[in-house]
Amino acid sequence: MTYRVCLVCMGNICRSPMAEAVLRHTLTEQGLAKRVMVDSAGTGGWHAGDPMDERALRTLTDHGYDGSAHRARQFTEDWFDRYDLVLAMDRDNLAFLRRMAPLGSEVRLFRSFDPNAPEGAEVPDPYYGGTEGFEEVLELVRAASEGIVKHIADEID
């Protein structure tokens, strides 16, 4: 059995692909990589087919993660059939996903798995800022990834 998770932001070139790389790495460290499939997508399609933002990729690379193969994709309603868990980076994307989600779909905020994050905490969009925003995103997704892996482990065991 493969557990499937999709991480979703607006354009799928910054936050969600960074989170995808970190979550895959964390799953590998916990010995769960062969049992879990991780994808990412955007609610918008304007970047579909594009590589990750070079600042996001540089931040990942500088910290030992690989995001070089990433190509942006758009999340569509029929994708809910493919995933056990869909995680949004912010409340706007969460609302968008919940409007199209079939009953019974598990759609949550990514940071809801970080025990130190306040309720409703988001991963901010670093696109219009400098490198410090990408470093912040990396720290936030690292903090939540451990909780996501624990949740997934509980679900598959």
What CATH number is attached to the domain comprising 42? Answer: 3.40.50.2300
Is the pLDDT at 98 greater than 90? The verdict is: yes
Active site residue 15: yes
Average of per-residue pLDDT values in the chain: 97
For 62-88, write each residue's pLDDT tens digit: 999 999 999 999 999 999 999 999 999
Q: What average pLDDT score do residues 1-13 get?
A: 96
**Entry pTM:** 0.96
For 12-45, write each residue's pLDDT tens digit: 999 999 999 999 999 999 999 999 999 999 999 9
CA angle centred on 109, ends 141 and 69, rounded to 5°: 50
Domain of residue 67, residue span: 3-156
Active site residue 14: no
Q: Which of 39, 53, 90, 125 is catalytic?
A: 125
Is the pLDDT at 140 greater than 90? The verdict is: yes
Domain count, the chain: 1
Active site residue 71: no
User: Measuring CA to CA, how many Å separate 138 from each of 54, 78, 94?
Assistant: 14, 29, 20
Identify residue 129 by its one-letter amino acid code: G
